Amino acid sequence: MPAFLTDDWFSTVETLTAQAGDLNLPPALSGLAINLVVADASGNTELALDGGAIKKGLSSNAKTTLNMDAETLRKVFLEFDMAAAMQAFMTGKIKVQGDMSQLMALQTAKPSQEQKDLFKKVLEQTTA
């Protein structure tokens, strides 16, 4: 299992996403792109949640960028822990640049079962 946010991890995510096929996303998620910048001891890792999938690098479609640490990213985006998301936001562990309405769309949209299944597989293939 590849370590979280390494090149091997992104390759695994890309393979699992391709195998998942249509994620059957609600419109609020299918057109949404958010850039994520994850800071850690070795620097920043850039990725995007674009069309319901995790992609390496920043998306040119994104109007919002979230800055956070890797543990927060894992809890919020892979484990769908919305309580952790709210707590991280309120304590400054998530910093927002850009269009806040994108976050509201993300918060209110329900992920499809296909997206949940994909992210569960990603989490199962991820080491700390």
pLDDT in tens, 65-112: 999 999 999 888 888 888 888 899 899 999 999 998 888 877 777 888
Cα distance between residue 23 and residue 20, in whole Å: 7
Answer yes or no: are the C-beta atoms of 18 and 41 closer than 8 Å: no
Structural domains of the chain ordered from first start: 7-110 (3.30.1050.10)
Q: What pLDDT is attached to residue 81? A: 84
Per-position DSSP letters for 23-87, written without gaps between them: ----HHHHT-EEEEEEEETTEEEEEEEETTEEEES--TT-SEEEEEEHHHHIIIIIS--HHHHHH
C-alpha R_g of the chain = 14
Q: What pLDDT is attached to residue 77? A: 81
User: With 80 as the cut, is the pLDDT of residue 128 above it?
Assistant: no
pLDDT in tens, 26-73: 888 888 899 999 998 778 999 999 988 999 999 999 999 999 999 999
| Residue with tokens 């956070």, as numbered in its chain | 68
Q: Rounded to two decimals, what is the model's pTM? A: 0.89
**At 10, is the pLDDT very low, low, confident or very high (cuts 50, 70, 90)?**
very high
